[in-house]
Protein backbone atom coordinates (compact mmCIF):
# COMPACT_ATOMS: atom_id res chain seq x y z
CA UNK A 1 0.00 0.00 0.00
CA UNK A 2 1.35 3.43 -0.97
CA UNK A 3 2.45 5.99 1.58
CA UNK A 4 -0.38 8.34 0.49
CA UNK A 5 -3.07 5.72 1.10
CA UNK A 6 -1.61 4.66 4.46
CA UNK A 7 -1.42 8.29 5.61
CA UNK A 8 -5.02 8.99 4.57
CA UNK A 9 -6.45 5.87 6.22
CA UNK A 10 -4.54 6.43 9.44
CA UNK A 11 -5.64 10.07 9.56
CA UNK A 12 -2.08 11.44 9.40
CA UNK A 13 -2.77 13.61 6.34
CA UNK A 14 -5.83 15.22 4.75
CA UNK A 15 -6.64 14.74 1.08
CA UNK A 16 -7.84 12.11 -1.38
CA UNK A 17 -6.58 9.15 -3.40
CA UNK A 18 -8.83 8.01 -6.25
CA UNK A 19 -8.28 5.21 -8.75
CA UNK A 20 -10.47 5.46 -11.85
CA UNK A 21 -12.05 2.30 -13.33
CA UNK A 22 -9.85 0.30 -15.68
CA UNK A 23 -12.25 1.08 -18.54
CA UNK A 24 -11.42 4.77 -17.95
CA UNK A 25 -7.69 4.09 -17.92
CA UNK A 26 -7.19 3.26 -14.24
CA UNK A 27 -5.65 6.66 -13.64
CA UNK A 28 -4.76 7.62 -10.05
CA UNK A 29 -5.80 11.06 -8.79
CA UNK A 30 -4.13 12.38 -5.65
CA UNK A 31 -4.56 15.79 -4.08
CA UNK A 32 -5.57 18.03 -1.20
CA UNK A 33 -8.68 20.07 -0.45
CA UNK A 34 -9.24 23.52 -1.95
CA UNK A 35 -11.97 25.39 -3.86
CA UNK A 36 -11.71 22.98 -6.80
CA UNK A 37 -11.31 19.75 -4.81
CA UNK A 38 -14.13 19.38 -2.33
CA UNK A 39 -16.68 17.04 -0.79
CA UNK A 40 -20.43 17.64 -0.67
CA UNK A 41 -22.50 15.66 1.86
CA UNK A 42 -25.85 14.14 1.01
CA UNK A 43 -27.60 16.71 3.22
CA UNK A 44 -25.98 20.16 3.00
CA UNK A 45 -27.34 20.98 6.48
CA UNK A 46 -25.99 17.84 8.16
CA UNK A 47 -23.86 18.03 11.30
CA UNK A 48 -20.49 16.36 10.56
CA UNK A 49 -20.14 15.49 14.23
CA UNK A 50 -23.26 13.31 14.15
CA UNK A 51 -22.66 10.90 11.26
CA UNK A 52 -24.57 7.70 11.91
CA UNK A 53 -27.23 7.13 14.54
CA UNK A 54 -29.77 4.35 14.89
CA UNK A 55 -28.95 1.43 12.56
CA UNK A 56 -32.27 -0.21 11.71
CA UNK A 57 -32.83 -3.97 11.99
CA UNK A 58 -34.98 -6.03 9.62
CA UNK A 59 -38.33 -5.24 11.21
CA UNK A 60 -37.63 -1.54 11.61
CA UNK A 61 -36.41 -1.20 8.04
CA UNK A 62 -39.64 -2.78 6.77
CA UNK A 63 -41.55 -0.16 8.78
CA UNK A 64 -39.44 2.61 7.22
CA UNK A 65 -40.23 1.34 3.70
CA UNK A 66 -43.96 1.17 4.45
CA UNK A 67 -43.81 4.68 5.89
CA UNK A 68 -42.12 5.87 2.69
CA UNK A 69 -44.83 4.25 0.56
CA UNK A 70 -47.52 5.99 2.61
CA UNK A 71 -45.77 9.35 2.22
CA UNK A 72 -45.61 8.89 -1.55
CA UNK A 73 -49.30 8.15 -1.72
CA UNK A 74 -50.21 11.19 0.36
CA UNK A 75 -47.90 13.63 -1.44
CA UNK A 76 -47.97 11.98 -4.90
CA UNK A 77 -44.21 11.60 -4.91
CA UNK A 78 -42.59 9.23 -7.41
CA UNK A 79 -39.77 7.73 -5.36
CA UNK A 80 -37.99 7.75 -1.98
CA UNK A 81 -34.56 6.20 -1.46
CA UNK A 82 -34.50 4.63 1.99
CA UNK A 83 -31.24 3.48 3.52
CA UNK A 84 -29.77 2.03 6.66
CA UNK A 85 -26.42 1.97 8.41
CA UNK A 86 -24.59 -0.82 10.22
CA UNK A 87 -21.51 -0.82 12.42
CA UNK A 88 -18.51 -3.13 12.52
CA UNK A 89 -15.82 -3.43 15.10
CA UNK A 90 -12.38 -3.04 13.53
CA UNK A 91 -10.16 -4.42 16.29
CA UNK A 92 -9.05 -7.45 14.27
CA UNK A 93 -8.99 -5.79 10.85
CA UNK A 94 -5.90 -5.80 8.69
CA UNK A 95 -6.80 -2.52 7.02
CA UNK A 96 -3.88 -2.57 4.59
CA UNK A 97 -4.83 -6.02 3.33
CA UNK A 98 -8.48 -4.98 3.09
CA UNK A 99 -7.68 -1.93 0.94
CA UNK A 100 -5.43 -4.02 -1.29
CA UNK A 101 -8.28 -6.52 -1.81
CA UNK A 102 -10.69 -3.79 -2.79
CA UNK A 103 -8.41 -2.42 -5.49
CA UNK A 104 -7.91 -5.87 -7.00
CA UNK A 105 -11.49 -7.09 -6.79
CA UNK A 106 -13.35 -4.03 -8.05
CA UNK A 107 -11.38 -2.81 -11.06
CA UNK A 108 -14.45 -1.17 -12.64
CA UNK A 109 -15.36 0.85 -9.55
CA UNK A 110 -14.15 4.28 -8.56
CA UNK A 111 -11.83 3.39 -5.69
CA UNK A 112 -11.93 6.36 -3.33
CA UNK A 113 -10.05 7.08 -0.11
CA UNK A 114 -10.84 10.37 1.60
CA UNK A 115 -9.60 12.04 4.76
CA UNK A 116 -11.37 15.36 5.14
CA UNK A 117 -10.83 17.83 8.00
CA UNK A 118 -14.59 18.14 8.58
CA UNK A 119 -16.12 14.86 7.35
CA UNK A 120 -13.39 12.43 8.37
CA UNK A 121 -12.10 9.21 6.78
CA UNK A 122 -14.00 7.27 4.10
CA UNK A 123 -13.32 4.31 1.79
CA UNK A 124 -15.53 3.61 -1.23
CA UNK A 125 -15.67 1.26 -4.21
CA UNK A 126 -18.36 3.25 -5.96
CA UNK A 127 -20.02 2.37 -9.27
CA UNK A 128 -21.38 5.85 -9.95
CA UNK A 129 -19.95 8.85 -11.77
CA UNK A 130 -22.02 11.98 -11.24
CA UNK A 131 -20.15 14.11 -13.76
CA UNK A 132 -16.91 14.13 -15.78
CA UNK A 133 -15.71 17.19 -17.71
CA UNK A 134 -12.84 17.13 -20.18
CA UNK A 135 -12.44 20.49 -21.88
CA UNK A 136 -16.02 21.31 -22.88
CA UNK A 137 -17.21 17.69 -23.04
CA UNK A 138 -19.45 16.41 -20.25
CA UNK A 139 -20.25 12.82 -19.33
CA UNK A 140 -22.69 11.57 -16.71
CA UNK A 141 -24.91 8.56 -16.14
CA UNK A 142 -28.26 7.50 -14.80
CA UNK A 143 -27.63 4.46 -12.60
CA UNK A 144 -30.72 3.04 -10.92
CA UNK A 145 -32.56 -0.26 -10.75
CA UNK A 146 -30.94 -3.32 -9.18
CA UNK A 147 -31.16 -7.08 -9.69
CA UNK A 148 -28.93 -10.00 -8.76
CA UNK A 149 -26.21 -10.36 -11.39
CA UNK A 150 -27.25 -13.94 -12.18
CA UNK A 151 -30.97 -13.16 -12.36
CA UNK A 152 -32.70 -14.44 -15.51
CA UNK A 153 -35.75 -12.27 -14.87
CA UNK A 154 -36.57 -9.38 -17.15
CA UNK A 155 -36.31 -5.94 -15.62
CA UNK A 156 -39.60 -5.25 -13.89
CA UNK A 157 -41.84 -2.21 -14.07
CA UNK A 158 -40.54 -0.98 -10.72
CA UNK A 159 -36.85 -1.04 -11.75
CA UNK A 160 -37.54 0.53 -15.16
CA UNK A 161 -39.68 3.32 -13.67
CA UNK A 162 -37.05 3.97 -10.99
CA UNK A 163 -34.39 4.29 -13.65
CA UNK A 164 -36.45 6.60 -15.87
CA UNK A 165 -37.05 9.01 -12.98
CA UNK A 166 -33.29 9.40 -12.51
CA UNK A 167 -32.53 9.68 -16.22
CA UNK A 168 -35.17 12.36 -16.82
CA UNK A 169 -34.06 14.47 -13.83
CA UNK A 170 -30.44 14.45 -15.03
CA UNK A 171 -31.39 15.42 -18.61
CA UNK A 172 -33.65 18.24 -17.39
CA UNK A 173 -30.96 19.56 -15.02
CA UNK A 174 -28.32 19.56 -17.75
CA UNK A 175 -30.69 21.46 -20.03
CA UNK A 176 -31.56 23.99 -17.31
CA UNK A 177 -27.85 24.73 -16.76
CA UNK A 178 -27.00 25.48 -20.37
CA UNK A 179 -25.52 22.15 -21.43
CA UNK A 180 -25.54 21.82 -25.24
CA UNK A 181 -25.66 18.79 -27.53
CA UNK A 182 -27.22 16.54 -24.88
CA UNK A 183 -27.13 12.94 -26.07
CA UNK A 184 -28.94 10.16 -24.20
CA UNK A 185 -27.21 6.90 -25.07
CA UNK A 186 -28.99 3.51 -25.30
CA UNK A 187 -29.82 1.87 -21.98
CA UNK A 188 -27.46 -0.91 -20.87
CA UNK A 189 -26.65 -3.10 -17.89
CA UNK A 190 -23.71 -2.46 -15.57
CA UNK A 191 -22.43 -5.52 -13.68
CA UNK A 192 -20.65 -5.42 -10.32
CA UNK A 193 -19.95 -8.96 -9.08
CA UNK A 194 -23.27 -10.10 -7.54
CA UNK A 195 -25.49 -7.19 -8.60
CA UNK A 196 -26.35 -5.45 -11.84
CA UNK A 197 -27.86 -2.03 -12.49
CA UNK A 198 -29.67 -0.31 -15.32
CA UNK A 199 -27.39 2.35 -16.79
CA UNK A 200 -27.89 5.15 -19.29
CA UNK A 201 -24.88 7.24 -20.30
CA UNK A 202 -25.58 10.90 -21.04
CA UNK A 203 -23.14 13.27 -22.75
CA UNK A 204 -23.10 16.94 -23.70
CA UNK A 205 -20.91 20.02 -23.91
CA UNK A 206 -20.52 23.07 -21.69
CA UNK A 207 -18.21 26.03 -21.39
CA UNK A 208 -16.81 27.20 -18.06
CA UNK A 209 -16.92 25.86 -14.51
CA UNK A 210 -19.33 23.08 -13.54
CA UNK A 211 -19.47 23.75 -9.78
CA UNK A 212 -23.09 24.93 -9.86
CA UNK A 213 -24.09 22.05 -12.13
CA UNK A 214 -22.53 19.52 -9.72
CA UNK A 215 -24.45 21.09 -6.85
CA UNK A 216 -27.70 20.97 -8.85
CA UNK A 217 -27.22 17.32 -9.82
CA UNK A 218 -26.42 16.12 -6.29
CA UNK A 219 -28.23 14.27 -5.00
CA UNK A 220 -29.97 12.73 -8.00
CA UNK A 221 -33.23 10.77 -7.53
CA UNK A 222 -31.01 7.66 -7.41
CA UNK A 223 -29.76 8.85 -4.00
CA UNK A 224 -32.77 10.75 -2.67
CA UNK A 225 -35.96 10.27 -4.67
CA UNK A 226 -38.31 12.46 -6.65
CA UNK A 227 -39.11 15.31 -6.23
CA UNK A 228 -35.69 15.73 -4.67
CA UNK A 229 -36.08 18.56 -2.17
CA UNK A 230 -39.26 17.49 -0.30
CA UNK A 231 -38.11 13.87 -0.36
CA UNK A 232 -34.73 14.84 1.12
CA UNK A 233 -36.55 16.63 3.96
CA UNK A 234 -38.59 13.48 4.58
CA UNK A 235 -35.45 11.31 4.60
CA UNK A 236 -33.66 13.54 7.10
CA UNK A 237 -36.71 13.47 9.39
CA UNK A 238 -37.42 9.74 9.16
CA UNK A 239 -34.25 7.69 8.59
CA UNK A 240 -33.10 8.10 12.23
CA UNK A 241 -29.45 8.53 11.28
CA UNK A 242 -27.25 10.98 9.33
CA UNK A 243 -25.74 9.80 6.05
CA UNK A 244 -22.74 12.12 6.07
CA UNK A 245 -20.88 11.65 2.77
CA UNK A 246 -22.85 8.50 1.90
CA UNK A 247 -24.83 9.57 -1.16
CA UNK A 248 -22.78 12.76 -1.37
CA UNK A 249 -19.97 13.48 -3.80
CA UNK A 250 -16.23 13.95 -4.05
CA UNK A 251 -15.31 16.54 -6.71
CA UNK A 252 -11.68 16.67 -7.89
CA UNK A 253 -9.72 18.31 -10.71
CA UNK A 254 -6.80 16.92 -12.67
CA UNK A 255 -5.40 19.30 -15.31
CA UNK A 256 -8.11 19.59 -18.01
CA UNK A 257 -10.38 16.99 -16.41
CA UNK A 258 -12.71 17.11 -13.43
CA UNK A 259 -14.62 14.29 -11.78
CA UNK A 260 -17.59 14.32 -9.43
CA UNK A 261 -17.94 10.82 -7.95
CA UNK A 262 -20.89 9.64 -5.87
CA UNK A 263 -19.84 7.98 -2.61
CA UNK A 264 -21.68 4.67 -2.64
CA UNK A 265 -20.58 1.24 -1.36
CA UNK A 266 -18.67 3.15 1.27
CA UNK A 267 -17.39 2.90 4.82
CA UNK A 268 -16.90 5.72 7.30
CA UNK A 269 -13.86 4.88 9.45
CA UNK A 270 -13.99 5.76 13.13
CA UNK A 271 -11.47 5.01 15.89
CA UNK A 272 -12.13 1.28 16.38
CA UNK A 273 -15.15 0.69 14.20
CA UNK A 274 -16.53 1.44 10.75
CA UNK A 275 -19.98 2.49 9.64
CA UNK A 276 -21.39 0.99 6.43
CA UNK A 277 -24.38 2.18 4.40
CA UNK A 278 -26.82 0.49 2.00
CA UNK A 279 -30.15 1.54 0.52
CA UNK A 280 -32.57 1.26 -2.36
CA UNK A 281 -35.23 3.14 -4.27
CA UNK A 282 -38.78 2.69 -3.00
CA UNK A 283 -41.70 3.20 -5.39
CA UNK A 284 -45.40 3.24 -4.52
CA UNK A 285 -45.79 -0.44 -5.46
CA UNK A 286 -42.58 -1.66 -3.82
CA UNK A 287 -42.57 -4.76 -1.63
CA UNK A 288 -40.90 -3.97 1.71
CA UNK A 289 -39.33 -7.42 2.06
CA UNK A 290 -37.83 -7.18 -1.42
CA UNK A 291 -36.43 -3.77 -0.56
CA UNK A 292 -34.79 -5.22 2.56
CA UNK A 293 -33.34 -8.07 0.50
CA UNK A 294 -31.86 -5.54 -1.94
CA UNK A 295 -29.96 -3.86 0.88
CA UNK A 296 -28.70 -7.25 2.06
CA UNK A 297 -27.60 -8.10 -1.49
CA UNK A 298 -25.70 -4.81 -1.73
CA UNK A 299 -24.19 -5.37 1.70
CA UNK A 300 -22.92 -8.79 0.65
CA UNK A 301 -21.93 -7.77 -2.86
CA UNK A 302 -19.44 -5.01 -2.30
CA UNK A 303 -16.96 -3.79 0.23
CA UNK A 304 -18.62 -4.99 3.39
CA UNK A 305 -17.42 -8.62 3.37
CA UNK A 306 -14.27 -8.94 5.44
CA UNK A 307 -12.96 -12.41 4.69
CA UNK A 308 -11.16 -14.12 1.80
CA UNK A 309 -14.49 -14.64 0.04
CA UNK A 310 -15.11 -10.93 -0.38
CA UNK A 311 -17.28 -10.59 -3.50
More confident of the two residues 89 and 303: 89
> Is 145's pLDDT higher than 80?
yes
Residue-wise pLDDT tens digits, 120-142: 999 998 888 999 999 999 999 99
Q: What is the pLDDT of residue 274?
A: 87
The topology (CATH level 3) of 3-301 is: Anthranilate synthase (3.60.120)
| pLDDT number for residue 302 | 58
Q: What is the pLDDT of residue 104?
A: 80
How far apart CA 142 and CA 138 sit, in angstroms, is: 14
The two beta strands, 110-116 and 249-254, are unpaired
Task: Indicate the domain borders of the chain.
Answer: 3-301
Whole-number pLDDT of residue 300: 76
Residues 6+ apart with CB under 8 A from 168: none
Phi/psi for 240 (5° steps) reads 70, 15
What letter would DSSP give residue 13? S
Task: Judge whether residue 13 has pLDDT over 60.
Answer: yes
- For the segment 206-251, what is each residue's pLDDT rounded down to a tens digit? 988 888 899 899 888 888 988 999 999 999 999 989 999 999 999 9
Residue 306 clears pLDDT 60, i.e. is over it: no
CA-to-CA dists, residue 147 to 2, 24, 59, 107, 298, angstroms = 35, 24, 22, 20, 10
The predicted structure's pLDDT at residue 294: 87
Predicted confidence at residue 310, as pLDDT, reads: 34
Nearest by Cα to 127 from 265, 229, 11: 265
If 0-12 CB within 10 Å is exposed, 13-18 middle and 19+ buried, where does residue 207 land?
A: exposed
Residue 301's pLDDT is what?
A: 64
Condensed to tens digits (0 to 9), the pLDDT of residues 56-114 reads 999 999 999 999 999 999 999 988 999 999 887 776 667 777 777 777 878 888 999 99
* Average confidence score pLDDT of the chain: 88
Q: Report DSSP state, residue 43.
A: S
Nearest of 118, 122, 108, 105 to residue 264 by alpha carbon:
122
pLDDT per residue over 148-195, tens digit each?
A: 888 888 898 888 888 888 899 899 999 999 999 999 999 998 887 677
Amino acid sequence: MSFEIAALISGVTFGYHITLPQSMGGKVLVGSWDDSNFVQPFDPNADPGRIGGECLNHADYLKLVEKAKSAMQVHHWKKIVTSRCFEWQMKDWNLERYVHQLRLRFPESFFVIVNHPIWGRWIAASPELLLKKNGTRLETMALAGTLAADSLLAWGRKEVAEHEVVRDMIVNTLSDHGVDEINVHPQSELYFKTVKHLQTKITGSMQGDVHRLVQALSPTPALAGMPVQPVMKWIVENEQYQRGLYGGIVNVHDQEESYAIVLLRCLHLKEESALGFVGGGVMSDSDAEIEWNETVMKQNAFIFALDENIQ
